[in-house]
Chain A
């Protein structure tokens, strides 16, 4: 019996290949988006993790110092500690000129102390490759200035000989390194890390401009020895587990990744609508047959079982298809995510997409779960089909009509849930729940609002489209269980598009205002090394001295960034030239006391960004204790400023303050203010000529830098756009599927209409009108829902995730576009079904009951 039922379902699916395909596509897109995002997140992090693992070796702990690292004297102190094996390390990621600016991870180590820590061949005394050649290379690394060992694969990949000279970009200057040997593949290959260069610590200090400092000390020691060491550690030093570094980057990327994950869940959610649509249609199409089966003695349980089995089969095929699409999508998303992370947070080298079985399993499982959940209601419908219902096709519809007000009340309940979640939660997930509840409220309201709108639109339809128009409005009401679902899916997708658009527009406009306030310089310079070394890329002091002597230059703001920690969370210390900016930049302060604030900053106080203030609950007048070279130091917060550079939070101070408490200050970027009589354009051209070949810096005019800021902003949201488009496609397919099914189901009605004298053009008008009305209703409902979701995104989710205050900006074009898209989508969705109208069998339709 069960086998026969399965056959019954299978043949139905085969007889409706398009609908089956659309359902599979719905599952597949949902699974693909989820997998695409997961793989992008995982591969990006894996790339960073690999680089950390590759250079960590067997170290059990690491000691970190202040912003500039650990002074040689302190490093020597660590080396003297009993029961602890220690080794100094300097790390830097630089672009290599001979390798088309491919990144090279430079590791400066002490060859005499290295053996217990890392196993990179020539420098390791316990290396298996102990031949005359590797010993010579080891000696050369020790004695030859600028000598370096480079991984074999890196050299061969770029056609570099093992005795060539390499030029690496350190901050704003190219520095030469002599290749004296290679690092064998063994461990590197295992770690999937192929761009390593090892040199002596003194070479690293010299080449990387870190004379007198090392970045960290790697340790191998027992827990007790570490505990003893911790007690005697000077206040500037801190001990971490090696995993701490990955954890910090994880923390840094937390919000960014969370947002992407939330978006991928949304795609699955919209995909569920499509599955629900198809499965419900499958039940409705087979209602008569199901009734007959019930007459013949098939139990509701058996019908439910086969319906779920059918969903399971569709889920398996759809999810497998989704895995293939997801892997393809991951090629793009991983690149996009890696590029955004590299630009905004930490350098990541894109190393292709590795498949993670657990993630594949997760996406597959979630796809299956979504399919089964979406099928539950249609399966229940199928099971509750009574024998008598076989002759009453409209039973489900009349039920749907009666349920509409009840479902709307459920919507009110969801709205209440949204309000409660807003007031009683503080986390990102709470914010997401607010958005989800709001979306569910809108979905629940859709059937009742659709009835209301079609009632209102009926006279207009009759007036403008005649009888076909009236029939179209009635058709939507008559098939509410399907039309409302399709309208809701389109409405939700459009709301999402609108809310994202409003959020991005508002954010962009806020950024624009901010940029106009803080970018007042005439010319801007940034160290080109930033692309790989991030804030370690500093501008050479010689360049600053050169610029200061230029007759056109009135003042230079030196902007120095240091990665820092506050209460175990990553933040940034920013050193600026307060004397220069006080009269030139229009910082957006919470108190509006600009001049007074700068005087206080010059006097040694600090200002903090609003993200810092929100994250750590600080405000103007409060104090913060920061770990300095002289131990913990309390700083007074002069004011809070609005800033969108770093979501982690910033503490800004004058260079003099930084130098007093930490180390010699540095600059990563320069803002040059020219004398009034100087012409910015000609000076820019002159500067480009003067610095060519001497310094590697990105020189931009004020306009170019503003454009660059907005370009990076747009690029950050590129992946969001792709996800939105995919979600819109799912909703579009939902509408096609709904219209197709409506036509199939209403074959008899359409046949009667044709018999009564409705011409094919009138029939087409009716279908077009019906589809257009569905789009219009979805569009009308999407406008308030999208606006409400935009408010939630801006004032709840964004604030809880990034702590940025964004000013909401109305954008008429976004509303017009959303409505236009709704209308266009629905009309386009009707095109294919229209081609099928000619095939309606009039004679057969009329005799059916």
Chain B
């Protein structure tokens, strides 16, 4: 579904240049849950931004369902983001001026012709995520966990095949964090959505099928699907496993 070929990203020029990513290759299939693990500033978010077409790479190519992102116009990229990608952010990024239901509806209503039954779908999503009764509230009236669930509902409104989650648990307590990760796992397993998770928490990474470490702009596989599946089912964290 996603193919990243030799991409590099450099910010600034000359002596002030910062190499955020260097010659990265990555392939993700439909329905996979892939985690990018690394410290702050390692380049995880940059990779997510490149894959979603928010930022262009300095060199290399990115393919989304065999379409080359780097050759797309701004409008095409916008449509791609709107219809094929759902975003979940660390700080939820809900619009404070819109109610919960309006926030969820937003990406759907940005389409030139909103899909029929959009409102019902939004209500159903909120019900599934356990926050239907708060649909008329405003973001500031919700807890962090609830806000992140709204963000997930918003990410799903256009039924996108890819969910990009950038530190989705970074601003939540551990219980809420685990709930959100379980939810993402469900989306991958039950609905065959592709999840690309950026995290600095190894605990979060155990929900993934594959775990990559991003360090100094380079990417290396840390654990395969088989290892992670066994860790997930045995409830042992990758950090514990690596110590063992």
Chain A residues close to B by CB (< 8 Å): 394, 466-467, 470-471, 474-475, 477-478, 748-749, 752-760, 762, 842-843, 846-847, 849
Contact = CB atoms under 8 A, between A and B. Distances in A.
A759 B78 CA distance: 6
Interface in B96-112: 96-98, 102, 105-107, 109-111
12 contacts: A474-B95, A474-B97, A474-B98, A475-B97, A757-B78, A757-B83, A759-B79, A842-B49, A842-B54, A843-B49, A846-B93, A846-B166
B141 to A, nearest CB: 12
Given A466-B109, A757-B81, A843-B49, A752 B97 contact: no
Secondary structure of the A contact surface, majority rule:
helix
A402 to B, nearest CB: 14
Q: How large, as a class, is the contact surface on chain B?
A: 20 to 34
A757 B52 contact: no
A400 B166 CA distance: 33
A394 B141 CA distance: 13
Most central of A466, A470, A471, A755 by chain B CB within 10 Å: A755
B95 A752 contact: yes
Contact of A756 (B46, B90, B107): B107
A748 B79 CA distance: 20
B78 A760 contact: yes
B154 interface: yes
B110 A762 contact: yes
A849 B91 contact: yes
B37 interface: no
B59 to A, nearest CB: 18
Contacts of A760: 74-75, 78
A523 to B, nearest CB: 71
B95 A755 contact: no
B105 to A, nearest CB: 8
B83 A467 contact: no
Interface in B30-89: 45-46, 49, 52, 54-55, 74-75, 78-79, 81-83, 87, 89
Contacts of B107: 756-757
B140 interface: yes
Nearest to B80: A757
A755 B97 contact: no
B110 A467 contact: yes
A477 B75 CA distance: 29
A756 B81 contact: yes
Nearest to A475: B97
Contacts of A752: 93, 95
Given A471-B98, A755-B54, 17 more contacts: A466-B109, A474-B98, A475-B97, A478-B97, A753-B106, A755-B52, A755-B81, A755-B93, A756-B110, A757-B82, A758-B78, A758-B82, A758-B110, A760-B75, A760-B78, A843-B54, A846-B166
A756 B89 CA distance: 11
Given A757-B82, A759-B75, A467 B106 contact: yes
A793 to B, nearest CB: 40
Nearest to B111: A757
Contact of B82 (A471, A475, A749, A756): A756
A752 B95 CA distance: 8
- 10 shortest A-B CB distances, which residue pairs? A757-B82, A474-B97, A467-B109, A478-B97, A849-B91, A759-B78, A843-B49, A752-B93, A842-B54, A757-B81
Contacts of A754: 54, 78
Contacts of B90: 847
Nearest to B98: A474
A748 B96 CA distance: 12
B87 A755 contact: yes
B87 to A, nearest CB: 6
A470 B102 CA distance: 10
Interface in B114-136: none
Contacts of B102: 470
Contact of A757 (B79, B96, B97): B79
Contacts of B140: 394
Contacts of B46: 843
Contacts of B97: 471, 474-475, 477-478
A782 B46 CA distance: 49
Contacts of A847: 45, 90-91, 166
Nearest to B160: A757
A821 B185 CA distance: 56
Nearest to A749: B95
Nearest to B158: A757
Nearest to B155: A756
Contacts of A474: 95, 97-98
A756 B107 CA distance: 6
A470 B97 CA distance: 10
B75 A471 contact: no
Contacts of B75: 759-760
Nearest to B105: A467
Nearest to A763: B78
Most central of A466, A477, A755, A757 by chain B CB within 10 Å: A757
A759 B76 CA distance: 9
Contacts of A478: 96-97
Contacts of B52: 755
A846 B95 CA distance: 12
Nearest to A758: B110
A757 B91 CA distance: 18
Nearest to A397: B96
Nearest to A393: B96
Contacts of B98: 470-471, 474
Contact of B95 (A471, A842, A843): A471
A843 B98 CA distance: 22
Nearest to A467: B109
Contacts of B49: 842-843
A470 B106 CA distance: 10
A762 B111 CA distance: 10
Contacts of B81: 755-757
Contacts of B109: 466-467
B55 A843 contact: yes
A759 B73 CA distance: 11
A753 B98 CA distance: 12
Contacts of B79: 757, 759
A760 B79 CA distance: 11
Contacts of A477: 97
Nearest to A462: B109
A582 B77 CA distance: 86
A753 B97 CA distance: 13
Most central of A467, A475, A756, A849 by chain B CB within 10 Å: A756
Contacts of A757: 78-79, 81-83, 107, 110-111, 158
B106 A756 contact: yes
Contacts of B93: 748, 752, 755, 846
A846 B151 CA distance: 13
A394 B138 CA distance: 13
Contacts of A471: 95, 97-98
A475 B98 CA distance: 10
Nearest to A759: B78
B126 to A, nearest CB: 17
A843 B105 CA distance: 22
Nearest to B82: A757
Contacts of A753: 95, 106
A90 to B, nearest CB: 78
A449 B109 CA distance: 28
Nearest to B76: A759
B171 to A, nearest CB: 8
B170 to A, nearest CB: 11
A847 B95 CA distance: 14
Contacts of A467: 105-106, 109-110
A470 B111 CA distance: 14
Contacts of B54: 754-755, 842-843, 846
A470 B49 CA distance: 27
A466 B110 CA distance: 7
A466 B102 CA distance: 12
Contacts of A758: 78, 82, 110
